[in-house]
Structure 1
Amino acid sequence: MNYADLLITLTAHESDENNVTIAFTMGSKALEKGHTVEILLLSNAVHLAEKNYADKIDIGAPFKPIKDLLPTYMEQGGKLKVCSACMEHNGVSKENIVDGAEVISADYVIDALMNSKKSLQLN
């Protein structure tokens, strides 16, 4: 299995809009520089994978709103991985997540953390 150059783990959602914005901003910047990137949504962050949920997150200049950052990140080839157990715990259904997001298990989270080249943890 190929693991990302940069693995970003995120547990925040609207409760910490700064960390959400930083995760997608840094993910996009790493992609622009030619690195492979995965953002793992854990805990409350799984809500960010719900369609239209992240549209309300905008911390202002100089940062872009998440409604712009998230699709750009995905179009650049960024991977969005969503913890299945966290989804179940937080009432997020697989049918309501954004196109291109992948539901993953705790086993995958551990393997990705141990095998990715670098990680950025925003918790």
Structure 2
Amino acid sequence: MAGKFLVSLTNAKNDPDKATVGFVVANAAVASGQETVVFLNVEGAYLASKGYANDIHEEGFAPLKQLMDQFVEAGGTLWVCSPCFKKRGLDEEKLVEGAVIVGGAKLVEFLSQGAASITY
């Protein structure tokens, strides 16, 4: 039985190193068979907008957009904090592939099922 793993990502262009490492870890988790969710919240909510991550590329890592695409293609789940998304005036019509806007109840439900969690 696969375990559950959550990466809470609170950063984007404000700290591209943390945003990138968050997706590196998420990709490792999904590749190891974990049911993996990346929760984009606070500044991380910006990553849910098409085109936003295109120019984020930390030295020593693959480009963030590539890491995000790999995560979704590998079966990872991408959740976006609803109030965080709305607060930043982002457009639901411009969500990246695989992103779903969720409320806190969905996150609590996943965590209550025994998911390990890490925050970047």
Q: TM-score, normalised by structure 2?
A: 0.92
Instruction: Name stretches of at least 5 consecutive residues in structure 1 with no aligned partner.
Output: none
Q: CA RMSD in A?
A: 1.3
Residues 7, 116 of structure 1: 8 Å contact kept = no
Question: Percent identity among equivalent residues?
Answer: 29
Match in the other structure for 1:49 = 48
Alignment correspondent of 2:65 = 67
| Residues 44-101 of structure 1 deviation map (CA, whole Å, 9 limit, x = unaligned) | 111101001011111111x111121111110000110001111110011111111211
The TM-score normalised by the length of structure 1 is: 0.90
State the match for 2:79 in structure 1: 81
Matches within 5 A, 1:1-123: 5-61=4-60, 63-122=61-120
Tell me the distance in 2 between the aligned counterparts of 1:114 and 1:56: 35
CA distance in 1, matches of 2:80, 2:67: 17
Aligned partner of residue 14 in structure 1, secondary structure: coil
Query: Helix, strand or coil for the counterpart of 2:6?
Result: strand
Unaligned runs of 5+ in 2: none
